[in-house]
Amino acid sequence: MKTMLKISNGIDALLISLGKTASFALLGLIVVVVFDVVTRRLFQMGSTQLQEAEWHLHTILIMCFLGATYIYDQHVRIDLVSGTFSPKRRALVELLGILLLLLPFCAVTGYYATNFAYTSFVRNEVSQSIDGLPYRWAIKSMLPLGIYLLALAGISRALRAIVAMSSPKIADLDAKEREQM
């Protein structure tokens, strides 16, 4: 059981560090949006590159935080029913949801997102706008990355659910440790 927790902790550390690194994209997004708004309003200048940079930075933030959001249990969930369950039953429902819903979704979506990004790379796809950003494949590559990070988070949570079903005290102690990260 402790091996499962060590693997889960390693995955969590990776997802957290990637999330922290990607959070710098938020600073870039703020600068780009403020600059874009100021130049549009005060100088009547518009820039396709700035607008595309905004959604590129949004994509980086969203895709890199999918996994971290899940391990911090900040994702959308319906707790109305599961809140009444015992910890072991809640862990079982979590494990079944991961195995039957999350991981198959990530496998199918990841497969198609990878092909989507690969096709864009092979074609050296650029913006459809004349003055848009080049290397469209780079941002499209964030889609499969985000899906695979979400799958990693699902594996981490599945391992923790298995531990929680067999050793609730170990899982409870480990949850407190994760909150301190």
Domain ranges of the chain: 2-179
What percent of the chain clears pLDDT 90, i.e. is strictly above it?
Answer: 52
| Residue 33 CB burial class (10 angstroms; 0-12, 13-18, ≥19) | middle
Residue 135's region, left for phi above 0, alpha for psi from -120 to 50, else beta, is left
Query: For position 2, what pLDDT does the model report?
Result: 81
Query: For position 181, what pLDDT does the model report?
Result: 47
Kindly indicate the confidence band of residue 130, based on its pLDDT and cuts at 50, 70 and 90.
confident
Q: What is the pLDDT of residues 40-93, one digit of tens each?
A: 888 878 788 888 899 899 999 999 998 888 888 777 666 666 677 788 888 898
Residue among 37, 29, 32 at smallest CA distance from 62? 29
Query: For position 177, what pLDDT does the model report?
Result: 53
For 73, phi and psi rounded to 5 degrees? 60, 40
If one counts every other C-beta atom within 10 angstroms of the C-beta of residue 152, the result is 20
Mean pLDDT of the chain: 87
Its pTM stands at 0.84
- Residue 173 pLDDT greater than 70, yes or no: no
What percent of the chain clears pLDDT 70, i.e. is strictly above it?
Answer: 88
Name the one residue in this structure whose structure tokens are 């933030």. Answer: 61
Query: For position 60, what pLDDT does the model report?
Result: 93
